[in-house]
Amino acid sequence: MIKVLASSRLTLVGMLLLGGGAILSYGNPADMPVWVLVVPMALLALNLVCAMISNPRINRRYGLLVFHAGLLGVVILAAIGRLTHFDAHVEMLNGTAFDPSDLFNIRKGPLHNKSALDNIRFIQGDYTISYSPGIARGPTRNQVILPTDDGEGEAVTFGDAVPLVIQGYRFYTSFHKGFAPIMTWIPDQGEKVTGTVHMPPYPLYDYRQANRWQPPGAPEIKFWLRLDTGIDASSDWVLDANKSTGILVVNSDDQRIELQPGEIAQLPDGQLRYEYMTSWMGYKVFYDPTLHWLFFTSVIGVIGLLFHFWQKVNKN
């Protein structure tokens, strides 16, 4: 039975199944179960273990044995990684704390413990992004505030290549970032409500900074944010929300009203006050507890393979 499970034919079947699973999982679709990858990996791991036990060309050559052990570790860890992984996106307003309930486009393995996200604490700070002529995106300098024992908080700056890592979760700044007006809806009857409307990513949608919102019990309101960021497509330029301003253009029924921060528009069923403009940063959140172990195991496998070839060269 061990020799049957160690056959190269079973290896080929496992590789074909894994290739099919990789094609089906491309792009990480939400409706694709993780088992299309885990089952072939489990089959290949079993095949590899049986080959290591039954094949004397492997178990009698220490270099090859170490290499196959490393390969086995990579397969097992990759399967564990798929079962426990977590991918998501989140958009955070300047000055707000991270809240796991704001995550969207969530993809996770069946064994992932999402409750660990409840222990992550940080506050979104300011950011600047450098651009070259032609609006070519350069380095991102994003700041967050981490809690400290003295209550003061620690400012941490990171960018696109180096993520913020908290309890194994990696927060990567994304191409999605932009502006958001803070508004207060004051109905003719009822309690006032203050909230934000995220405008589309900037400067990707420079001239399409529009969105809409329907206040409780009132007609839908359309917004357009006319920005002044100092954008310059012909030279170096830095996007800095602290040096940017925006006029909020409100469209409701037949009305078109331009609001500066602090101004109020009289609309059907209530008033809309434009408080001020802030910014938001988009993150890709990634978690895989096997990453460091995968690297270590891969290095062990490579060392075993090098030792095997070194022995062959010395014999010759």
Looking at the structure, do residues 40 and 6 belong to the same domain, yes or no?
yes
User: Quick one: average pLDDT of 207-218?
Assistant: 87
User: Which pLDDT value is given to residue 316?
Assistant: 64
Looking at the structure, do residues 134 and 190 belong to the same domain, yes or no?
no
User: Which pLDDT value is given to residue 150?
Assistant: 81
User: Which pLDDT value is given to residue 3?
Assistant: 84
Instruction: Specify if 265 maps to a domain.
Output: yes
Query: Which tens digits make up the pLDDT trace of 60-100?
Result: 888 889 999 999 999 999 999 999 999 999 999 999 999 99
Boundary residue ending a domain (161, 176, 191): 176
User: Which pLDDT value is given to residue 135?
Assistant: 87
User: Which pLDDT value is given to residue 39?
Assistant: 93
Number of other CB atoms surrounding residue 229 within 10 Å: 18
Looking at the structure, do residues 159 and 229 belong to the same domain, yes or no?
no
Weakest mean pLDDT among 118-122, 154-158, 163-167, 251-255: 251-255
Query: Does the pLDDT at position 217 exceed 70?
Result: yes
User: Which pLDDT value is given to residue 153?
Assistant: 87
User: Quick one: average pLDDT of 169-174?
Assistant: 94
User: Quick one: average pLDDT of 144-163?
Assistant: 89
Looking at the structure, do residues 106 and 57 belong to the same domain, yes or no?
no
Query: Which tens digits make up the pLDDT trace of 80-91?
Result: 999 999 999 999
User: Quick one: average pLDDT of 188-203?
Assistant: 90
Looking at the structure, do residues 187 and 275 belong to the same domain, yes or no?
yes
Contact 78, 297 (CB under 8 A): no
Bridge-based pairing state of the strands 255-259 and 104-108: unpaired
Task: Name residues whose C-beta falls within 8 Å of residue 199's C-beta, 6 or more positions apart in sequence.
Answer: 178, 179, 180, 181, 209, 210, 211, 223, 225
Per-chain mean pLDDT for the chain:
90
User: Quick one: average pLDDT of 5-21?
Assistant: 90
Looking at the structure, do residues 259 and 307 belong to the same domain, yes or no?
no
Instruction: Specify if 293 maps to a domain.
Output: yes
Find out whether the peptide bond into 29 is cis, omega within 30 degrees of 0: no
- Percent of the chain surpassing pLDDT 90: 62
Angle, vertex CA 166, rays to CA 163 and CA 167, nearest 5 = 135
DSSP letter string, 268-279: TTEEEEEEEEEE
Instruction: Specify if 246 maps to a domain.
Output: yes
**Largest alpha-carbon pair distance within the chain?**
93
Query: Does the pLDDT at position 56 exceed 90?
Result: no
Rounded distance between C-alpha atoms, residue 214 and residue 243, angstroms: 30
Looking at the structure, do residues 113 and 39 belong to the same domain, yes or no?
no
Boundary residue ending a domain (176, 194, 224): 176
Query: Does the pLDDT at position 151 exceed 80?
Result: no
Rounded distance between C-alpha atoms, residue 304 and residue 292, angstroms: 19
Q: Which amino acid is at 77?
A: L
Looking at the structure, do residues 79 and 127 belong to the same domain, yes or no?
no
Boundary residue ending a domain (176, 191, 214): 176
Q: How far is CA 149 from CA 121, 146, 157, 167, 288, in A?
A: 13, 10, 20, 17, 28
User: Which pLDDT value is given to residue 294?
Assistant: 94
User: Which pLDDT value is given to residue 184?
Assistant: 93
SS3 170: strand
Query: Which tens digits make up the pLDDT trace of 260-314?
Result: 999 999 988 889 999 999 999 999 999 999 999 999 999 999 999 999 889 888 8
Query: Which tens digits make up the pLDDT trace of 238-260?
Result: 999 999 999 999 988 778 899 99
pTM of the model: 0.85
Looking at the structure, do residues 75 and 20 belong to the same domain, yes or no?
yes
Looking at the structure, do residues 92 and 80 belong to the same domain, yes or no?
no
Task: Name residues whose C-beta falls within 8 Å of residue 100's C-beta, 6 or more positions apart in sequence.
Answer: 114, 117, 118, 120
Domain of 92, in residue numbers: 87-176
Looking at the structure, do residues 25 and 37 belong to the same domain, yes or no?
yes
Of all residues in the chain, what percent are helix, strand and coil, respectively (each to 5)?
35, 35, 30
Instruction: Specify if 66 maps to a domain.
Output: yes
- Percent of the chain surpassing pLDDT 70: 100
Looking at the structure, do residues 21 and 72 belong to the same domain, yes or no?
yes
Instruction: Specify if 284 maps to a domain.
Output: no
Q: How many domains does the chain have?
A: 3
Contact 35, 270 (CB under 8 A): no
Bridge-based pairing state of the strands 104-108 and 221-228: unpaired
